[in-house]
Amino acid sequence: MKIGILRTDDVREELVDEFGEYPEMFTGILKNVDPTIETIEYDVFRLEYPADIDDVDAYLMTGSKASVYDDEHWIHRLEDFVRELHERKKKFLGICFGHQMVANVLGGRTAKADAGWLIGVQRHELNAEGLALTSVSEGFNIICSHQDQVIEPATGASILAGNEQCPIAMCRVDDHILTVQGHPEFSPDYANKLYNLRRGQLGDSLVDAGIHSLKEKVDTHQITQWLIDFARATQ
């Protein structure tokens, strides 16, 4: 299976040498679960797109420091591409910004959350439909870093998981779109260093609590397996 990674941001310059860019992070977790997976990067925030939508089997959209409701040309172009993917029922995996983009473009709404920034390891509980899709018996832990949230899901979307502070943390649209608010590609070490770089923005108390939470187990392998299984499943 070949996955096209829609890159929507750059990793902070101070962290690139150690952790790579976002497509490299995603390629790492995908290949750790299934070494046969191939990835190709499309730098969509610099307006780079595939020549043919069927050049790959599925698409994955990364997170971004931008907001999906920003009035930027590259975001409007990406909105059109997401609509096309949906119309064609192309397999699509949305992570953080990608999760929010699907809602914003397909009849829902994304906005800054009343809860403010949510960082660190967050526990999200799966509802009955989420449990059925993932074939597990409980929720999952995932590293987060966001202040925007999906307030209303896309038209026809099923909410699969969430918690009190982020009720819409995982969604599915039919059999071709699966989105997750958290960051399965973040390692605890990367998150630790990223949060420290954002102390001036986030404040010491929030950063310290977020870093402390990184001692908890995260379900990276399990979440990545769900993403791969969904992308590979026949429609």
The single residue of 99, 146, 176, 183 carrying the catalytic annotation is 183
User: What is the rounded distance in angstroms from the CA atom of residue 109 to the CA atom of residue 18?
Assistant: 35
CB within 8 A of 132, min separation 6: which ones? none
The radius of gyration of the chain's CA atoms, rounded to the nearest angstrom, is 16
Q: Is 183 tagged catalytic?
A: yes
Retrieve residue 191's tokens. 């998150």
The single residue of 21, 86, 96, 124 carrying the catalytic annotation is 96
Residue with tokens 């977790």: 29
End-to-end CA distance of the chain: 15
The one-letter code for the residue type at 15 is L
The single residue of 21, 86, 176, 185 carrying the catalytic annotation is 185
User: What is the rounded distance in angstroms from the CA atom of residue 32 to the CA atom of residue 49?
Assistant: 26
Q: Is 171 tagged catalytic?
A: no
Residue with tokens 């779109």: 177
Pick from 120, 230, 89, 235: nearest CA to 170 = 230
User: What is the rounded distance in angstroms from the CA atom of residue 199 to the CA atom of residue 208?
Assistant: 9
Question: Which residues share a beta bridge with 95?
Answer: 180
Where b means 16+ CB within 10 Å and e means fewer, 97-121 reads bbbbbbbbbbebebbebeeebbbbb
Residue positions annotated with a catalytic role? 96, 183, 185
